[in-house]
Structure 1
Amino acid sequence: MQLTTFILLQFLAHILADFFLQSQKMANEKNSIGFKSRLLPVHVLIVFLCSWLLSFQVEFFVGAGVIAIIHYIIDGFKARANRHPKFWKYAFFVDQLLHIVVLVGVSLFFEKYHGLQPLFEIPVSTTFIAIVIGYLLCLRPANFVIKEVFRSSEIDVAIAQQEKAEVLEGADELPNAGKLIGILERVLALTFILIGQFQAVGFLLAAKSVLRYKDTDTLKTEYVLIGTMLSFGIAVVCGILAGVI
């Protein structure tokens, strides 16, 4: 097994554990009360199992344990970071960066002092794993990233006030439609990039810009424009990285 493949598998384990196998209740408790959360140990156990199983090596038991323990420490202190008057804006991004640095560091250390000897040869290529990661990132993780960008920029405060006013006026919009639209556009954009149809990405972006909101909805139009740029940007980066790897 190549080192790049091993690191990608560990990154895949992190994505699954932190975004797909972590409930909203787990995340809320972790972000608000940190080490006092009764669900934090459950989350850390999931992190350990994902890391260990996707290493395809029994000997990585210790490495997965190190990743899980440091994950516990980082997540435990995140509640304090979220309450910091200035640092709270960057808590999510620093949290994710630290997790990635840890899993890369442990992987490098394990490869140097033990070697990569999986129980069996993985029947998929490194590129395939990268593509799977790209699609997964375009689902839930991308929604969290966009949400945190809005939150850190305090943009969501203004739009929330407008949405509240629209609800009182009986605005006719589907709940959570924006999230679904974002997921679909990222998946389509990533697919077009992977098959080399870059013109289709431009057409998709133009179509959404025309259809999404009326010109008179200035505040919401700007909100959607920022979200669209972030959304397509994530898909483009994922597509480029998957293609390079």
Structure 2
Amino acid sequence: MIASAGILLRLLIAHLLGDFFLQPRSWVKDRNKLHLRSVKLYLHALIHAVLAWLVLWDISQWHVALIIFTSHLLIDLLKSYQHGRNTLWFIIDQALHVIVIICVWRWFLVKDLELDIIAFISEPKRLYVIAAFVLLSRPASIFIGIATQKWRKEVEDDKKKTLKDAGLWIGMIERFLILIFILMKQDAAIGFLLAAKSIFRFGDLRKTEEKNQTEYLLIGTFLSFGMAVVVGYLLRLIGV
């Protein structure tokens, strides 16, 4: 099992090297402009195939390199038609590459490994953790939005000066971090997280006229932290 995991890890490292270290920005621009006619697109896919073959160091695995080349070419070609540096498309692009690598690893390189992904995910403790992360994402944000709705109008004008959806993302990230800290039994780190957020989020809100915005942010923060802590310790209680 350890050797099999090592093969997967080498393939993932090869992917990271190919996509983030051996792909100049000019190649990306060329691909996005010329699409299927871009020579850099084919060269980039070829680099990934060569890296995959090198980390396996087995000439008989040429079909793995061919699959990596073809899949990377098609996925990057699809992405080239999506204009701009969209976060969602970046995640989709990387997820597709990783899925291909995992499939190649599972079906061509470790045939003797009994790996049931559905059974692995369906294990009760893992389901509790997955449910906790889902709960602390959008559902928690919606609940906090409803709970603080009556104060929102009072700070509406000030919120126009902030980044769009910044509070939503800050809230989700902080709840995920708190949950991870609790699951790792690093409770002290939660205090540092709260202190850091207080410095950056509330440091500039010192004027009397900004008192209502400060109070609004504090209410939202304590609700967000409170939900994450409660969910985290509930997972602890059931033995996750």
TM-score norm. by structure 1 comes to 0.47
Larger RCO (alpha carbons 8 Å, 6+ apart): 1
TM-score norm. by structure 2 comes to 0.47
